């Protein structure tokens, strides 16, 4: 049984005050959500305060990125150990915006995943193809390269500390959701790939989230697909009303 995860990626939005207010608004709205893990990912500066505000709730905290060294002369970086100290249980790794704008590669994704797991946290590892890649029939090869590269060298035990997020780049922030069929096809491909790299039981247990214009009105259809185990939500996670409606998809 794979417990669904609904995670909100707040990206570069919200001051500390706004972030704390949002989590406080969310708490009563999601307290009755059935059988789902709830995660929010504020910017670094808000992590500690949002985590304190969420302590008496089921809302867990994710960071949006990390560095792979624990400490040292690495100006501007934050390690998984310090993210844990700030109250995080998850770290998003390899988001397409980081791959696109900040030089993230499958090799750095791999180092970050190892560091996150070593710190006792769970990595939410993002993969996804661009529109040009989809239109030139490269979706599966792109996803395979990202998964193989990102997870290279990991022991199968590590997979219980990994959540995969399939986020087609063309569906992020565009209002263009992948159809249920398009998403399911890639999720199923990822699960089979995990079975090939590790084994069937690891593949059966790993959770694969969909991300890209998930909204209250399309979450149920996506979640009805056999290989979709949750959602990574951008825009619709910035308002308590829409995010709580997504979290409560099962109610
Ligand atoms: P949107 O839900 O705004 O399309 O963003 C998806 C995303 O990038 C989540 O990480």
Compute the distance from residue 11 Cα to the ligand 1 centre, in Å.
9
Closest CA to ligand 1's atom 9: 234
Tell me, what's the pLDDT at 1? 84
Q: Which residues are known to be catalytic?
A: 95, 167
Residues framing ligand 1 (Cβ under 6 A): 9, 95, 167, 172-173, 211-214, 232-236
Cα of 42 vs centre of ligand 1, distance in Å, is: 13
How far does residue 192's CA lie from ligand 1's centre (Å)?
A: 25
What is the 3-state secondary structure of the chain? CCCCEEEEECCCCCCHHHHHHHHHHHHHHHCCCCCCEEEEECCHHHHHHHHHHHCCCCEEEEECCCCCCCCCCCCCCCCHHHHHHCCCCEEEECCHHHHHHCCCCHHHHHHHHHHHHHCCCEEEEEECCCHHHHHCCCHHHHHHHHHHHHHCCCCHHHHHHEEEEECCHHHCCCCCCCCHHHHHHHHHHHHHHHHHHCCHHHHHHCEEEEECCCCCCCHHHHHCCCCCCEEEECHHHCCHHHHHHHHCCCC
Burial per residue of 86-118, b for 16 or more beta-carbon CB atoms within 10 angstroms, e otherwise: bbbbbbbbbbbbbbeeeebebebbbebbbbbbe
Residue nearest to atom 5 of ligand 1 (CA): 234
pTM for the model stands at 0.98
Interval between CA 23 and ligand 1 midpoint (Å): 18
Q: Which atom belonging to ligand 1 lies closest to the Cα atom of 174? A: 4
- What are the residues facing 7 on neighbouring strands? 39, 232
Average pLDDT along the chain, 251 residues, taken 10 residues at a time: 97 98 98 96 98 97 98 98 98 98 98 98 98 96 98 98 98 92 98 98 98 97 98 98 97 89
Atom of ligand 1 nearest to the CA of 212: 4
Q: Whose CA is closest to atom 7 on ligand 1?
A: 234
pLDDT at 150 (0 to 100): 98
Distance separating alpha carbons of residues 248 and 34, to the nearest angstrom: 7
Q: How far apart are the first and last CA of the chain?
A: 18
Closest ligand 1 atom, residue 235 Cα: 3
Return the pLDDT at 175. 87
Query: Are 161 and 124 a contacting pair, CB within 8 Å?
Result: no
CB atoms within 10 A of CB 24: 14
b/e map 176-206, b = 16+ CB within 10 Å: ebbebeebbebbebbbebbeebbeeebbeeb
């Amino acid at each position: 049984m794979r417990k669904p995860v609904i995670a909100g990626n707040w990206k570069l939005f919200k001051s500390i005050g706004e972030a704390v207010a949002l989590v406080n608004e969310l708490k009563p709205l999601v307290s009755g959500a059935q059988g789902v893990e709830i995660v929010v990912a504020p910017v670094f500066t808000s992590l500690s305060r949002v985590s304190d505000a969420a302590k008496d709730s089921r809302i867990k905290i994710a960071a949006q990125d990390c560095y792979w060294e624990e400490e040292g002369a690495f100006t501007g970086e934050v390690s998984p150990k310090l993210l844990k100290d700030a109250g995080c249980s998850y770290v998003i790794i390899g988001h397409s915006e980081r791959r696109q704008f900040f030089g993230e590669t499958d090799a750095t994704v791999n180092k970050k995943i190892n560091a996150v797991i070593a710190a006792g946290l769970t990595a939410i590892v993002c993969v996804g193809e661009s529109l040009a890649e989809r239109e030139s029939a490269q979706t599966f090869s792109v996803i395979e390269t990202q998964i193989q590269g990102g997870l290279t060298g990991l022991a199968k035990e590590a997979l219980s500390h990994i959540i995969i997020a399939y986020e087609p780049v063309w569906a992020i922030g565009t209002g263009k959701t992948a159809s249920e069929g398009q998403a399911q096809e890639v999720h199923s491909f990822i699960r089979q790939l995990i079975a090939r790299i590790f084994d069937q039981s690891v593949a059966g247990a790993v959770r694969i989230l969909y991300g890209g214009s998930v909204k209250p009105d399309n979450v149920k259809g996506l979640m009805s697909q056999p290989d979709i185990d949750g959602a990574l939500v951008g825009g619709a996670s910035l308002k308590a009303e829409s995010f709580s409606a997504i979290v409560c998809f099962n109610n």
